[in-house]
Amino acid sequence: MTPIPLGMVGGGAGAFIGGIHRIAARMDGQFALVAGALSSDPARARASAEELGIARSYVSYEDMAVAEAARPDGIRAVSIVTPNHLHAGPAIAFLNAGIHVICDKPLAATQEQAQAIAQAAEASGARFFLTHNYCALPLVREARALVAEGAIGRLRLVQVEYLQGWLADPADGKQAEWRTDPARAGAGAIGDIGTHAWQLAQFVTGETPEALSAELSSIVPGRPIDDDARIALRYASGARGGIWASQVAVGCENRLTLRLFGSDGALEWAQETPERLIHTPKNQPPRILTRAQDRSQSFRTPPGHPEGYLEGFANLYSDIAAVIRGDDRHAERIPGLQDGLSGMAFLRAAQVSSRHDGQWTKVTP
Amino acid sequence: MTPIPLGMVGGGAGAFIGGIHRIAARMDGQFALVAGALSSDPARARASAEELGIARSYVSYEDMAVAEAARPDGIRAVSIVTPNHLHAGPAIAFLNAGIHVICDKPLAATQEQAQAIAQAAEASGARFFLTHNYCALPLVREARALVAEGAIGRLRLVQVEYLQGWLADPADGKQAEWRTDPARAGAGAIGDIGTHAWQLAQFVTGETPEALSAELSSIVPGRPIDDDARIALRYASGARGGIWASQVAVGCENRLTLRLFGSDGALEWAQETPERLIHTPKNQPPRILTRAQDRSQSFRTPPGHPEGYLEGFANLYSDIAAVIRGDDRHAERIPGLQDGLSGMAFLRAAQVSSRHDGQWTKVTP
Amino acid sequence: MTPIPLGMVGGGAGAFIGGIHRIAARMDGQFALVAGALSSDPARARASAEELGIARSYVSYEDMAVAEAARPDGIRAVSIVTPNHLHAGPAIAFLNAGIHVICDKPLAATQEQAQAIAQAAEASGARFFLTHNYCALPLVREARALVAEGAIGRLRLVQVEYLQGWLADPADGKQAEWRTDPARAGAGAIGDIGTHAWQLAQFVTGETPEALSAELSSIVPGRPIDDDARIALRYASGARGGIWASQVAVGCENRLTLRLFGSDGALEWAQETPERLIHTPKNQPPRILTRAQDRSQSFRTPPGHPEGYLEGFANLYSDIAAVIRGDDRHAERIPGLQDGLSGMAFLRAAQVSSRHDGQWTKVTP
Amino acid sequence: MTPIPLGMVGGGAGAFIGGIHRIAARMDGQFALVAGALSSDPARARASAEELGIARSYVSYEDMAVAEAARPDGIRAVSIVTPNHLHAGPAIAFLNAGIHVICDKPLAATQEQAQAIAQAAEASGARFFLTHNYCALPLVREARALVAEGAIGRLRLVQVEYLQGWLADPADGKQAEWRTDPARAGAGAIGDIGTHAWQLAQFVTGETPEALSAELSSIVPGRPIDDDARIALRYASGARGGIWASQVAVGCENRLTLRLFGSDGALEWAQETPERLIHTPKNQPPRILTRAQDRSQSFRTPPGHPEGYLEGFANLYSDIAAVIRGDDRHAERIPGLQDGLSGMAFLRAAQVSSRHDGQWTKVTP
């Protein structure tokens, strides 16, 4: 099986998420990273490509899109791992060039950028994927299957939390810098991690809240962007829910948790112990599901051999590889444009609601 | 040391909380239960008293208050363990008779009843105690001490949850019946367990939210009272918080949890594993505190010998006994009238906010 | 219901286990402590009795046995809470006087004492109970029921651990003193906590090992008695097992755990989280059983309201009260003479094996 | 940075550990798998190589060693992932050819094979690595550092358990088949997983037991090899320990746990939650260490983004790559020949002791 030639935009020295995408692409041997526009700084782009053994280094992603599309051995997909406000440019360029796009989340920094990506995606023959990695973890997929087959009955209560503590002090460091800059990030905690929470709930429950009431706060004095977000949710079905995303929850590392309560049972999952899903059928004891119960078979090792964050990312890349090779069986479980637009609608509604003192606001994609 | 003669109103056959109070009163040998008006049904009152070996059985609590006050060996305190709407009557009668009152929470079913109790308490030489039992658990007391001495710095985020699943279906049973009847309970989940959450946060943090936005829901179709309550909190200090109280969270038994995040650390505690308090100083690993670290010494056994719900209740009764015997050293940690009035203000604000679609509402005691 | 008049031998000021027995006797209102020989020091005996409100204080347990047996309102049962080497004397005196004996474990400090107790018990019309309290916890009783009904199939592996850290340093304090004195304790960790482990395994599995290989160590330099015991077990059925009891396991408070693996499933229980029993049927996910699944109904509160160490003790006292009142339905689940003799046989075999460099040694009661 | 050319012996279709080694080699981009003798069946060898995109497929590992050593672009290292009794042949061939060997554990099926490997390794200029993967996990490395710097004081008690349940029934499947065949495996549970436990304890404590007493059992009727092993350990320092390795512990997936108790503290770690290390300094609360405290920096992602089994393996491969590239800084933390010989000595002593009814037996490498 020949690896699929892959490119990357962003992800030069000092970047975080680019390295993650590279490991994910490499893990199952499905991709070969052969081209990159790793930095807008030509010297750094070249040095990074060399360091990483990437054959073809570009300074401009526009040039890269054109050149790669023209090569017989050109890349068939590109990973976009730039800050949020720089997703739209390359995404559109590669989509226009007919090259599949694997874009980091959230979709964009503004609604305009998001719409432009959507239009390019609709016009293109290439596919657009959005790396909401958590939904590719095996027990999350099993949770979704359980909900779909009625294991918890009718959905009643949803609670998703995504708590981090790394921004508990005024920011320092490259990562903190752009993520707390409204112009580049578009949103704070709610964009960076709140969109993961939103997508996770949607992925597992199959339902989208119709309205929300949000309280976005800047807990650290002087921070120009939200670092704590509490959002109440109403579903058309009558279900109620909540999202709490915070980056000032001291001591929390990456505490993303999902709890669902239905008329006939409950599910509970935590990202930091991802290989365990607690399923409580009504009036029965809780059951600790592991990968032994994962019917999606999203793993490489027997249960009890912990797989985690990187393997979740790699699950996405493997599913994407299958789609690129023409196998669409698992296409529906890969997040994409709709997830991205839904996330943008969530962001917008939350920001509007918060500006209006928590007024209940429709979520309109 | 002679046990303090104690009376009880309510708590006849089939009652729940009365039995709990009796065990708590008995555990440390500080009280002797000698009189009761256990039921408004004379036959049941008599039979219950006999079954329990209670020497003096009354049909009417008014008679009991008068008679006991007149006896040289009369009761010095009375436990009131009736449904919420029947707290005010006996509380006032015994306060007026100069007998100390140990009243189950919440204070009352209506604001009028609460005010009447407050007036009686102020006029009386006797004391009024409210059994918010969770705040008497050793690690909760230690948590409070830690916050007070600055272990988590300035308070930023508060999250209290109280999740139960026992009302996930349309109610049946004596307990469910009155607790879901607006006339007798005054409020649903928010009164029955939400007030515990409110008091717990207040007890540990020493701060009271100034405003809230509430979403009270009746998740089970046809239920005339809230069974799920989500409340966002704003503190004058700038801190933000949330309370989630639910009685339809299938699979949850009595999941009361408290999480606090401050500028310098975090605390985390869960009622179902009450002998563990997680303290995370900023930039340090979490520490699992046990009773080995409890400086309040609120226990009977060495750490590792689990004490729990009943011992928490008994801690209150022991502290109350000390006060009755004239030792006020621990009086400040016993919940009382102010906690009760604060709880009523919380209920009122939450109900108002919810009726106004979650409008932010001041909490005014 | 009139409380049963109870006496106590030992348990004066500064004692540990006496206070526990008193709370257990009091908790469910079944006993009234009315007589005591609380200390061999007359002044301390009197002061302790006064402090505790015990009506009749004796200096000598022999006098007490005779006097109480002669009174029409005399005690019907006595709790013996002296150090191990002082169990036999009072036990025999009260058994001879026809008064039921509730004796702390282990049965005695020597085999001779144990045999003497056994003879007295057989000759007496009164009953002999041994307070192996852990086996009275609700989930332990449920575990036993599950094993008995075949939930784990044929027993294959047993592992019981009882780890404490309080003797990690050379001993100080009254408790440590007699427990590390061979003359008074008879055995070290293996007697103090190893016998609990032995009894627990036996109670739950219904099987008794036929041979053992022991390594008893004195880890703290200069300690004249074992403080760490590792014992391998062979069952006649072919099952294999192990007991590890240590009092130098720094950081462990009272970590008694039981694990059973059978041909069709597994059970796992830990004393420090006593209200949870993990049952894993073969090829199925683990189930977290709580008191919601306890069919022995050994509790006072709904599941989720933690009961623990004291309530376990109280469960024994309540079962004993029932037997004294003539209700033998639960008699078989109360530990007694056979458990005591079995524990002594275990001690003896372990000490012999250890002296012979771990040679496999028959356990002969 | 050019990837190091790597070969593989074993690991054809249906094999387990070969796939793990391939992922580990790929994850950090340090190796390129270019040659293989994947199966002794020529057709399967070829098909597997094709499927995996391995350029040069050999039928015989002897031919492969010679041919690759002769090529200018030949492999510099080879991964040996055959069953235990087939380690020695290829290991010796490649060592003789001057090619570094990365060998799966245990070292061999017999003492003779082990000695032959040792001689070849000593004679060769190439290095020999043994993939005891668990010791490469970040918190295990941190545990070792803590012990080395005295965080738990003088070592007193060691307990390592490795419990699996997958052989609870008479074996079926390719994996079970060779692992329960004495001729091919050399030992049962004690070889397959007991050696991991032995090495882990040794790695973290820096001490090697001087004698052991073993009870090897075949719990499943008719199994020709041990499936449960209980071993008591004596250290020259006076410390005591135990290893329990079982493959019939129903419901256990891969439960490898390590507990150490010293004169000044304790450490506790479990493979199934590998990103947490509990450190309890004497008389202080337990601290939950995460990768935030790992000073070995053995990871790719921030703490809270679970890394696990595959990443541990990849840590070994990355350290090996560094050594191959001439950087020996981390060489001492890569398990190798000494670990292998020690493991064989452990196996031998355990088998001898068990045959002599648990007689204490010296462990002589």
Given CB atoms, is B257 within the 8 Å cutoff of chain C? no
Under 8 Å CB pairs connecting chains A and C tally to 24
CA–CA distance, B357 with B56 (Å, rounded to integer): 51
Given an 8 Å threshold on Cβ–Cβ distance, is A250 in contact with B261? yes
How far is C306 from chain D, CA to nearest CA, in Å?
A: 22
C-alpha to C-alpha distance for A320 and A212, rounded to whole angstroms: 32
Task: Give the separation between CA C228 and CA C241, rounded to whole angstroms.
Answer: 17
A228·B157 Cβ contact <8 A: yes
Residue D172: band (very low, low, confident or very high) from pLDDT cuts 50, 70, 90: low
What's the confidence (pLDDT) of residue D174? Answer: 66
Strand partners, D37: D9
A51 contacts D29? CB cut-off 8 A:
no
Residue D78 structure tokens: 């080879």
State which residue of chain D sits closest to A165, comparing Cα positions.
D304
List the alpha helices (DSSP H) in C131-241: 138-148, 174-179, 182-185, 189, 195-205
Q: Are C22 and B29 in contact (CB < 8 Å)? A: yes
Instruction: Calculate how close chain B gets to C306, using CA atoms only, in Å.
Output: 5
Asked if D232 lies within 8 A of C230 by C-beta distance, the reply is yes
Per-residue pLDDT, C172: 66
Q: For residue B253, what is the nearest residue in chain C, using CA coordinates?
A: C304
Examine residue B72 and say whether the peptide bond preceding it is cis (omega within 30 degrees of 0). no
Taking the CA of residue D230 and the nearest CA in chain C, the distance in Å comes to 8
* Mean pLDDT along residues A181-203: 91
Shortest alpha-carbon distance between residue C261 and chain D (Å) = 6
Using CB atoms, pick whichever of C156, C168, C215 lies closest to residue D248.
Answer: C156
**Between chains, do A240 and B219 touch, taking CB under 8 Å as contact?**
yes
Asked if B23 reaches chain C (Cβ–Cβ under 8 Å), the answer is yes
Spatial contact of D216 and D190, defined as CB atoms under 8 Å apart: yes
The D residues from 297 to 356 touching A (CB cutoff 8 Å) are 300-311
| Residue from B218, B237, B240, B277 whose CB has the most chain A CBs within 10 Å, to mutate | B240
For residue D263, the chain C residue with the least C-alpha distance is C168
Query: Do residues D360 and D208 touch, judged by C-beta distance below 8 A?
Result: no
Distance in Å, alpha carbon of A294 to nearest chain C alpha carbon = 11
| C159 touches D at CB < 8 Å | yes
As a whole number of Å, the end-to-end CA separation of chain B is 40
Given a cut of 70, the residues of chain C with pLDDT beneath it are: 172, 174-175
CB contact under 8 A, B254 and C28: no
pLDDT in tens, D112-170: 999 999 999 999 999 999 999 999 999 999 999 999 999 999 999 999 999 999 999 98
Chain C residues with CB-CB distance to A288 below 8 A: 285-288
Yes or no, beta carbons of B20 and C272 under 8 Å apart: no
Tell whether B1 lies on the interface with C, counting CB pairs under 8 A: yes
Residue in chain B nearest C137 by alpha carbon: B306
pLDDT of residue D14: 80
A302, closest residue in chain D (CA to CA): D253
Among A302, A301, A299, A274, residue whose Cα is nearest residue A289: A274
pLDDT at position B183, please? 79
In the DSSP assignment, the letter for residue B86 is G
**pLDDT tens per residue, range C93-139:** 999 999 999 999 999 999 999 999 999 999 999 999 999 999 999 99
Give the separation between CA B5 and CA A359, rounded to whole angstroms: 54
State whether residue B287 sits within 8 Å of chain C by CB. no
D123 close contact with C: CB closer than 8 A:
no
Which phi-psi region, left, alpha or beta, contains residue D132 (left: φ > 0; alpha: ψ -120 to 50)? beta
Please judge whether B271 and C302 are an interchain contact, meaning their C-beta atoms are less than 8 angstroms apart: no
Q: Do A130 and A340 touch, CB atoms closer than 8 A?
A: yes
Write out chain C residues lying below 8 Å of B3, CB-based.
Answer: 53
pLDDT for A172 beyond 70: no
| DSSP 8-state code for residue C179 | H
Strand runs labelled E in D131-263: 155-163, 211-217, 228-234, 240-246, 255-262
Number of H helices and E strands in chain C, helices first, is 12, 15
Q: Does A290 touch chain D (CB under 8 A)?
A: yes
> What would the mean pLDDT of D343-360 be, rounded to a whole number?
97
The crossing angle, in degrees rounded to 10, of helices C309-324 and C17-27 is 60
Check: CB of residue A303 under 8 Å from CB of residue D253. Answer: yes
> What's the confidence (pLDDT) of residue D184?
80
Give pLDDT, residue C14: 80
Instruction: Say yes or no for a CB contact (<8 Å) between D252 and A304.
Output: yes
pLDDT 10s digits, D199-240: 999 999 999 999 999 999 999 999 999 999 999 999 999 999
Computed over every residue of chain A, the mean pLDDT equals 96
Test A282 with B251 for CB contact under 8 angstroms. yes
A281 → chain B, closest CA residue: B251
Helices (H), A102-244: 111-123, 138-148, 174-179, 182-185, 189, 195-205
Mark the ranges of chain B whose per-residue pLDDT is less than 70: 172, 174
Tokens of A52: 């990483």
pLDDT tens-digit readout, A227-242: 999 999 999 999 999 9
Taking 90 as the threshold, does the pLDDT of residue A302 lie above it?
A: yes
Which ranges constitute the DSSP H helices of chain D?
17-27, 42-52, 61-70, 88-96, 111-123, 138-148, 174-179, 182-185, 189, 195-205, 309-324, 337-355
**Which residues between 215 and 244 in chain B have a beta carbon less than 8 angstroms from any beta carbon of chain A?**
215, 217, 219, 228, 230, 232, 234, 238, 240, 242, 244
A13 vs A43: CA distance, rounded Å: 11
Does B178 lie at the interface with A, CB-CB under 8 angstroms?
no
pLDDT of res. B215: 98
What local confidence, expressed as pLDDT, does residue B174 receive?
66
Residue in B288, B290, B293 nearest the CB of D288: B288
Using CB atoms, pick whichever of B286, B290, B293 lies closest to residue D287. Answer: B286
A253 contacts in chain B (CB < 8 Å)? none
Largest CA distance in chain C: 63
Query: Domains (ranges, CATH) in chain C?
Result: 4-130 (3.40.50.720), 154-262+335-355 (3.30.360.10)
- Put simply, whether C290 touches A (Cβ < 8 Å) is yes
User: Given a contact as 3+ CB pairs under 8 Å, which chains touch D?
Assistant: A, B, C
Nearest-CB residue to A288 (from C286, C290, C293): C286
Question: What ipTM describes this predicted complex?
Answer: 0.95
Cβ of C165 under 8 Å from any chain D Cβ?
A: yes
B152 inside 8 A of chain A by CB: yes
Residue A161 is predicted with a pLDDT of 98
CA–CA gap between residue B158 and residue C25 (Å, rounded):
41
Report pLDDT for B238: 97
Q: Give long-range contacts, CB 8 A cutoff, 24+ apart: D170-175.
A: D170/D220, D170/D222, D170/D223, D171/D223, D174/D14, D174/D15, D175/D16
pLDDT reported for residue A187:
86
Q: Is the pLDDT of residue A1 over 80?
A: no
Chains that touch B (3 or more CB pairs under 8 A): A, C, D
| Whether B270 contacts B259, CB under 8 Å | no
The mean per-residue pLDDT over the stretch D302-316 comes to 98
Indicate whether A177 pLDDT > 80.
no
